[in-house]
Amino acid sequence: MTGLITGPNWAARNWSIDAGAGSIHDDETAAELGFRGGTVAGDIHMNQFPPVLVEIFGEQWFETGNLSLNFKNATVDLETVQVFAEPLKRGENQTRVWMERDDGLLVCSGTAALGDHSRSELRNLDYRPCDPEELRILRKVKPGMSLGSYDIVATTDKQFERYDKKLISDPMSWYRQKSPWGGPVAAPCTILEFLWGNAMQGLGPLVEESTGLFGAMEIGYTHGPFIMGRRYRIECSVVCVSQSPKTEIVWYDSEAFSESGELVATLRIQSRAMKASSPLYDS
């Protein structure tokens, strides 16, 4: 296909390769579950998209933009991947985006948009839940339940450290220095750090012993950007619980509000619990 917009080839890092037994990012655990090695987290791959999206939509992508991805194939530490995007068609606010490994393997695919997020990849999936009586790992998790409200300060330490160590794939200077909005803005991995990280305080105790991994995630801005060093209130809730032959699945939303009450950023995420990793599925 001609006319594609592409990012650079990048050897993405598995930051959690030393996470230890029980983590999908640990080589031994991942191999036991049928993966080639500890997997690179989806938010690490998401870091490669913003430079391409700013090229397409302008800096406004950090204000009202959206990136919505389904992950298709896992990668391991230092495998080279590249972002692709279709040019924006006249009159459209959304386009197709994806990532491939250097041998052409599809890593993830979805949509990116500016403004209206209602037609995004993840907002138009079938969220029909399964019979809750069939669930084991996620039997305590119910659609619509709150996962808590959290008041946080978006501290800069982890993002700055990752930037300085060159761990962020295709980094933008706005993550470490001044941005068009004043202070540094959050990279996708940092959005996840605060929005997913706080949701897990409520979700984690409800999930039975198992190994989990991300299956899909969407970051959106309503009154962005998400600026580092500021205070936010994070609201988290469950969207849907379901299953596949190999996993139990939970979708949940996290929303970040400014001190004045404006919705700044949202995260929709799919977490999969591997049935083969749970003693509840021992036969």
Average pLDDT, the chain: 90
Per-domain residue ranges of the chain: 5-116+130-281
Measured in Å, how far apart are the chain's first and last C-alpha atoms? 48
CATH for the stretch 5-116+130-281: 3.10.129.10
Query: What's the whole-model pTM score?
Result: 0.91
Tens digit of each residue's pLDDT (9 = 90 or more) over 29-50: 544 555 554 567 778 899 999 9
Q: Given this model, what pLDDT does residue 159 score?
A: 97
What pLDDT does 131 receive? 85
pLDDT value at residue 236: 98
With 80 as the cut, is the pLDDT of residue 264 above it? yes
pLDDT digits (tens, 9 = 90+) for 44-72: 899 999 999 999 999 999 999 999 999 99
What is d(CA 104, CA 106) in angstroms, rounded to the nearest whole number?
6
Q: Quick one: pLDDT at residue 78?
A: 77
Banded model confidence at residue 127, pLDDT cuts 50, 70, 90: confident
Q: For the segment 133-192, what is each residue's pLDDT rounded down to a tens digit?
A: 899 999 999 999 999 999 999 999 999 999 999 999 999 999 999 999 999 999 999 999
Quick: pLDDT tens for 186-243: 999 999 999 999 999 999 999 999 988 899 999 999 999 999 999 999 999 999 999 9
Closest CA to 191 of 22, 43, 36, 3: 43
